[in-house]
Amino acid sequence: MSTEVREVTPRAEPARPRPISSKATGSDAVFVKGTRTVAATVLVITGGIGVFLASQSIPTLRHYGWSFFTETQWAPETDTIGIAAVLVGTFTVALVAMSIAFPLSLATALYISEFAPPRVRSTLVSMVDLMAAVPSIIYGLWGFFLLQPHASAVARFLHANLGWIPIFDVDADADAAQWEQTRYTASAFIAGLAVAMMVMPMASSVMREVFSSAPLGEREGALALGSTRWGVIRSVVLPFGRGGIIGGTMLGLGRALGETIAVLIIVSPRFDLKFKPLEIGTNTVSALIAGRFGEASVAQLSALLTAGFVLFCLTLLINTLAAIVVSRSRSGAGTDI
């Protein structure tokens, strides 16, 4: 009787999914912790500045109340202090600056990213970036000594031809044989021109980076359908870069609101509640702080810090909105070929 010996093959265990860990290790962990520390430090510093300014503003707000925001004069000797006029002057200079800087930034970014030959593109990028490195005082001196004589003539021309529009009106006779040149100098218009040259590199850099990221497939698809270069820009690049355009403009606006030295050098300080950019005399919050800080008493110093806190909140709000817009800049939505 024979006995058959059968080999028993062990059953293979079912394959189990391999656990995947998203936890950073090694150099990745060092990088994550380092960047997290830097981000937290920036938030702590920004929050500390805000808390300090807010605490220093309490005595002023208790003493003046809401009149601090509605009063136009800044006269500590008569206990009359308010920032209504300087807030209007701040937005006037910023709006003039952005009215000039926005088209220049957009045109510069489009030319560098779409039209400039590759051999000169890096040079143009470096030149625009170097404009952002020029100190504010240099722009202020340039605006005061070189730009102001020519800009005052432009202001007179605008007044003579467009004076029926309130923003171009000046309390002077533009058609006089000997026109009052001093009425058109040291104005928000001239300060805005100088500030425009300062914010243009920042806004242009943001726009250029977004334009360069436009999808190559969509560009090629537009060209394959017979579109021209401008057609590609209009149907692909500009819709894709809408977030960058808005974000860069708002970042530039935040810089324009806080510009100090250039405005302080150019403008003639006045506390008039007016919106006449071409006329002599205006003031901004930052220029007020820089001009009055050295001789301020304890009470006036608290008022200056309160004005700084208002400017800090405005700038922080604008930069936050700009960051939100840039972070939501799409990757594919909104382009129609």
Whether residue 6 is predicted with pLDDT greater than 60 in this model: the reply is: no
Residue type, 201: P
The rounded distance, in Å, linking the Cα atoms of 299 and 294 is 13
Q: List pLDDT tens digits, range 176-208.
A: 767 778 888 889 999 999 999 999 999 999 899
- The per-residue pLDDT for 21 is 65
Could you read off the pLDDT of 38-66 as tens digits, one per residue?
999 999 998 999 999 999 899 998 988 88
**Does residue 325 have a pLDDT over 80?**
no
267 touches 185 (CB < 8 A):
no
Report the C-alpha gap between 318 and 315 in whole angstroms.
5
Residue 194 or 243, more confident: 194
Among residues 108, 113, 281, which one has the least CA distance to residue 199?
108
- CA separation for the pair 115, 95 (Å, rounded): 29
Q: How many residues make up the chain in this entry?
A: 337
**Predicted confidence band of residue 138 (pLDDT cuts 50, 70, 90):** very high
Each residue's pLDDT tens digit, 64-100: 888 889 888 888 888 888 899 999 999 999 999 999 9
Task: For each of the domains in the chain, give its residue range(s) and CATH number, in order of start.
Answer: 86-327 (1.10.3720.10)
Read off the pLDDT of residues 205-236 as tens digits, 9 standing for 90 and up: 989 988 888 888 888 888 888 888 888 888 88
What SS3 class is residue 156? helix
Q: Which of 311, 296, 206 is nearest to 260 (CA)?
A: 311
- How far apart (Å, rounded) are the C-alpha atoms in residues 213 and 244? 11
- Do the Cβ atoms of 86 and 271 come closer than 8 Å? yes
CA 20 remoteness from chain centre:
43
| Residues 183, 148: Cα–Cα separation, whole Å | 12
Beta pairing partners, 74: 81
pLDDT surpassing 60 at residue 331: no
d(CA 103, CA 97): 11
Residue that is written with structure tokens 């265990």 in the block = 13
Beta bridge partners of residue 280, listed in sequence order:
187
Q: 198-217 burial by CB neighbour count: b if 16+ within 10 A, else e?
A: bbbbbbbbbbbebbeebeee
Residue 78 corresponds to which amino acid? T
- H/E stretch holding 197 reads helix 188-212
Stated pTM of the model: 0.84
